[in-house]
Amino acid sequence: GEVEVGLRPNDLVLSRGAGPQATVDVVEHLGWEMLVHLQLGAHRLAARAETAVMGSLKPGDKVAVAAERAHLFSAVSGLRVQ
């Protein structure tokens, strides 16, 4: 059946390299890390990133997004698919 994909902010990896490009909407600076709110097509995502690795990000910047891990859920029941 149909599944929905769940991505946790700490499971997303941002880079300035190649890959699906997302647009930065909002950056929450939290000291050594930041929470980055993104738009990827019709999807809104949030990713955690180390400030020392990503440097300065601002709304409108483009970043590549990769998922280290995804969680699958049944679109009908909402239960996790193993």
What pairs with residue 22 in β-bridges?
63
pLDDT tens string 19-68: 899 999 999 999 999 999 999 999 999 999 999 888 889 999 999 999 88
Q: DSSP characters for 9-73?
A: GGGEEEESSSSSEEEEEEEEEETTEEEEEEEETTEEEEEEEEHHHH----TT-EEEEEES--EEE
pLDDT at 34: 95
pTM, whole model, 2 decimals? 0.84
On the question of pLDDT at 14 being above 90, the answer is yes
pLDDT at 68: 86
- Picking from 38, 61, 60, 33, the residue whose alpha carbon sits closest to that of residue 48 is 33
pLDDT at 76: 94
pLDDT tens string 42-51: 999 999 999 9
